[in-house]
Amino acid sequence: MTQTLPALDRSREHLLPALRTAIARLDPASRLAASYHLGWCAPDGTPSQGNGGKAIRPALALLSAEAVGAPAAVGLPGAVAVELVHNFSLLHDDLMDGDVERRHRRTVWAIWGGDTAILTGDALLALAQEVVLEAGTPAAARAGLLLATTTRELTRGQVQDVAFETRDDVTLDECIEMASGKTGSLLAASAAIGAVLAGAAEPVETALKTFGAQVGLAFQLVDDVLGIWGDPVVTGKPVFSDLRSRKKTLPVSYTLGDPRHGPELAAWLAAPGEPDDAALRRAADLVENAGGRDWALSEARERMSLAEKALSTVDIDEEARTELTALGRFIVDRDS
Amino acid sequence: MTQTLPALDRSREHLLPALRTAIARLDPASRLAASYHLGWCAPDGTPSQGNGGKAIRPALALLSAEAVGAPAAVGLPGAVAVELVHNFSLLHDDLMDGDVERRHRRTVWAIWGGDTAILTGDALLALAQEVVLEAGTPAAARAGLLLATTTRELTRGQVQDVAFETRDDVTLDECIEMASGKTGSLLAASAAIGAVLAGAAEPVETALKTFGAQVGLAFQLVDDVLGIWGDPVVTGKPVFSDLRSRKKTLPVSYTLGDPRHGPELAAWLAAPGEPDDAALRRAADLVENAGGRDWALSEARERMSLAEKALSTVDIDEEARTELTALGRFIVDRDS
């Protein structure tokens, strides 16, 4: 994913100064941890050259304001807010998942401990609401409400994700529900919050949310395929990485429901010890032979078509529609 | 604190159904943990007779609506929200502080683990905003903004509290700042949020916040005195409990600044090992002889008088003023 899009470049340009102003309000300890997490500095505070990621969610937020004819600036508080909520969830999830690295850098909890990860996450979540509610308008209240319900959905998804680790009877429907919470809900909110701040009518808000939610699911499906068969050079993760960690991803969950290959994969997932390369290859073959890979990719295509259909049903700015569609495809189309 | 007040009884009556309706929106795992934490059920979900605490913050919120001539019901979403924010912070703080018991029951993290405490806290914080923003009005946006800035203050206070544990140069000013964040900020927001929802003018909001903030500091000062000299029967904690845990409370911090007794107390706090009763008594005497106890109690009286003065400067409903004053005194006047 080294290519980029004009909408993403514009978004980063808008976003960064506003995000920095928001982060500057935090207490010194949370500010340092958040700035480090965003790639702006080293753990000792020395500024670094990190650009803080692709900022896909803020780009969706800004485009959604333009979609209803407002300037991108109207969506800016929403763009900052969704980026803050995204990073709140990363800080807490990294701690819960025990991940010591993110984007080749140590995670906040791995450096400063769990308390700092919890408190910095809490502060970012509060800050997100602050940024969006400051205007004090009914539209701000609607946007804040969207953020709040989305945060509950994110949390629900993570509750399921944590619970799935110790369950061996997770259904495909539950996996899709979990992905809708963890990935779909914030992309849905991102794709609508700028429009909400611009006072969009309900059907437009709903269509934009559907677009974001379906793009989110398509992304997750492709990401799960890459987690098994992705080129380590492209993904930055080892081959079979999601199998190695025995994650109940969507293609795995699909395979578990297959009467021919499901039982063997279930036994494989339950077996103790570190699997060797042959065992990993065998598990990947089970998913492939059960049709898990084809299913996930075709389901991703189906989700993308639902996303684009949702956009086509409402009367929005043509340029924004084109850019949203391109951004949706960019999010999902990775070198799989 | 077995006595009660009419305002508290009324508040609980209003609050409980609305709080239960809000909690019912959570995903099943967070709902169970939150219901247990609130005293409504056992860890397995069996309903129990707990009344969920005194609900002081909701009572302030409801009275603040009445203070500006609105029915208590106008303040109800604010009352639910401050109770949710309070419990969000308890869930996260218990985990960070490693406290395995609260009100003679095991804490959520001690039963279900840290992930559940983090996620349930996150969900309660999101839910608080949801409840308050649902009306979609400018007043709702102002109330949501008040909640958000308050949550940041709470978080800042906890950041300081955690940092103070490993510092030996904490000043009295820093301790007061920490108490303002951890205790004052949410009481300030509670005493104003109902009025904000009722569309109160800025000076009234400010006066009510000052009232709550000063009551909060007075409460903390008295609580810190009780943490050293309180009767275990009344406080439910062992004698010298805050000294035993070497907490840098306000009277302790005052004493550390005393040239005659400060150095000995500092050395005492830094000494390793579990202190015996004689050592605890000696530390308590150091605080007493430095004037730490008298200072805290006189400072508490001063804060209460500032609180009541703030209320007297604005034109609010007389009955609500009387009830707020009584509630403020109830919060602070404990059997010390």
- Domain coordinates in residue numbering, chain B: 6-332
Residue of chain B minimizing CA distance to A132: B145
Sequence-ordered list of residues with C-beta below 8 angstroms from that of A312, at least 6 positions apart, any chain: A321
> Domain B6-332 is classified in which CATH homologous superfamily?
Farnesyl Diphosphate Synthase (1.10.600.10)
Residue B169, φ and ψ in degrees, nearest 5 = -125, 35
Residue of chain B minimizing CA distance to A113: B96
* Three-state DSSP class for residue A231: coil
- β-pairing, A105-106 with B101-102? unpaired
Q: How does pLDDT run across B79-96, given as a tens digit for each residue?
A: 999 999 999 999 999 999
Sequence-ordered list of residues with C-beta below 8 angstroms from that of A159, at least 6 positions apart, any chain: B27, B29, B30, B119
Distance from C-alpha of A304 to C-alpha of A114, rounded to nearest angstrom: 38
Distance from C-alpha of B76 to C-alpha of B212, rounded to nearest angstrom: 18
* Element containing residue A9 per DSSP (H, E): helix A6-23
Whether A328 contacts A215, CB under 8 Å: yes
Asked if A279 has any chain B CB less than 8 Å from its own CB, the reply is: no
Distance from C-alpha of B79 to C-alpha of B73, rounded to nearest angstrom: 9
Q: Determine the pLDDT at residue B239.
A: 80
Whether B63 contacts B195, CB under 8 Å: no
Asked if B142 has any chain A CB less than 8 Å from its own CB, the reply is: yes
Residue of chain A minimizing CA distance to B116: A159
- β-pairing, A101-102 with A105-106? antiparallel
* Element containing residue B101 per DSSP (H, E): strand B101-102
Q: Which two tokens stand for residue A300?
A: 């991703």
How far lies A291's CA from each of A171, A261, A278, A284, in Å? 16, 10, 20, 11
CB pair distance less than 8 Å for A122 and B95? no
CB pair distance less than 8 Å for A142 and B136? yes
Whether B158 contacts B89, CB under 8 Å: yes
Distance from C-alpha of A122 to C-alpha of B151, rounded to nearest angstrom: 8
* Element containing residue A253 per DSSP (H, E): helix A250-256
A vs B: CB pairs below 8 A: 142
Asked if B137 has any chain A CB less than 8 Å from its own CB, the reply is: yes
The DSSP code for B41 is B
Closest of A288, A119, A311, A324 to residue A207, by C-alpha: A311
Sequence-ordered list of residues with C-beta below 8 angstroms from that of B234, at least 6 positions apart, any chain: B1, B226, B334, B335
CB pair distance less than 8 Å for A148 and B158? no
* Element containing residue A52 per DSSP (H, E): none
Whether B93 contacts B108, CB under 8 Å: no
Q: Which two tokens stand for residue A125?
A: 């979540």
| Nearest CA-CA distance, residue A133 and chain B, Å | 6
Distance from C-alpha of B78 to C-alpha of B72, rounded to nearest angstrom: 10
Distance from C-alpha of A78 to C-alpha of B260, rounded to nearest angstrom: 55
Distance from C-alpha of A188 to C-alpha of B162, rounded to nearest angstrom: 36
Distance from C-alpha of A215 to C-alpha of A210, rounded to nearest angstrom: 8
The DSSP code for A184 is I
Q: Determine the pLDDT at residue A192.
A: 98
Residue B119 CB neighbour total at 10 angstroms:
26
Q: Which two tokens stand for residue B251?
A: 């009277």
Asked if B119 has any chain A CB less than 8 Å from its own CB, the reply is: yes
Burial class (CB in 10 A: 0-12, 13-18, 19+), B60: buried
Over chain B (336 residues), what is each successive 10-residue block's mean pLDDT?
77 95 98 97 92 87 98 98 98 95 93 98 98 96 98 97 89 96 98 98 98 97 93 76 90 96 94 90 96 97 97 97 96 72
Closest of A177, A226, A229 to residue A334, by C-alpha: A226
Asked if B164 has any chain A CB less than 8 Å from its own CB, the reply is: no
ipTM of the complex: 0.94
Asked if A149 has any chain B CB less than 8 Å from its own CB, the reply is: yes
Residue B112 CB neighbour total at 10 angstroms:
18
Q: How far is CA B123 from the centre of its chain?
A: 20
Q: Determine the pLDDT at residue A51.
A: 61
Distance from C-alpha of A319 to C-alpha of B79, rounded to nearest angstrom: 45
Distance from C-alpha of B162 to C-alpha of B178, rounded to nearest angstrom: 10
Within 8 A of B129 by CB-CB distance, chain A residues are 129, 144-145, 147-148, 151
How far lies B31's CA from each of A52, A71, A96, A276, B13, in Å? 35, 41, 19, 41, 21
CB pair distance less than 8 Å for B118 and A92? yes
CB pair distance less than 8 Å for B133 and A125? no
Asked if A42 has any chain B CB less than 8 Å from its own CB, the reply is: no
Distance from C-alpha of A242 to C-alpha of A261, rounded to nearest angstrom: 18
Sequence-ordered list of residues with C-beta below 8 angstroms from that of B306, at least 6 positions apart, any chain: B210, B214
Distance from C-alpha of A258 to C-alpha of A253, rounded to nearest angstrom: 9
| Nearest CA-CA distance, residue A55 and chain B, Å | 23
Digits of tens for pLDDT over chain A (336 positions)?
446 789 999 999 999 999 999 999 999 999 999 999 999 999 999 999 876 678 999 999 999 999 999 999 999 999 999 999 999 999 999 999 999 999 889 999 999 999 999 999 999 999 999 999 999 999 999 999 999 999 999 999 999 999 998 888 899 999 999 999 999 999 999 999 999 999 999 999 999 999 999 999 999 999 999 999 988 777 777 788 889 888 899 999 999 999 999 999 999 999 888 899 999 999 999 999 999 999 999 999 999 999 999 999 999 999 999 999 999 999 998 654
Distance from C-alpha of B121 to C-alpha of B288, rounded to nearest angstrom: 38
Whether A287 contacts A242, CB under 8 Å: no
Distance from C-alpha of A130 to C-alpha of A84, rounded to nearest angstrom: 11
pLDDT, chain A, mean: 94
Residue A46 CB neighbour total at 10 angstroms:
8
Contacts 24+ apart (CB under 8 A), A142-146: A142/A196, A142/B133, A142/B136, A143/A77, A143/A78, A143/A81, A143/A193, A143/A196, A143/A197, A144/B129, A144/B133, A144/B141, A144/B144, A145/B129, A145/B130, A145/B133, A145/B134, A145/B136, A146/A189, A146/A192, A146/A193, A146/A196
Burial class (CB in 10 A: 0-12, 13-18, 19+), A264: middle
Asked if A26 has any chain B CB less than 8 Å from its own CB, the reply is: yes
Q: Determine the pLDDT at residue B11.
A: 93
The DSSP code for B181 is I
Asked if A136 has any chain B CB less than 8 Å from its own CB, the reply is: yes
Q: Which of residues 68-107 of B touch A (CB under 8 A)?
A: 92, 95-96
* Three-state DSSP class for residue B103: coil
Helices assigned H by DSSP within chain B:
6-23, 28-37, 56-67, 72-97, 108-112, 114-133, 138-164, 172-179, 185-197, 202-229, 232-235, 241-244, 250-256, 262-270, 277-289, 292-312, 318-332
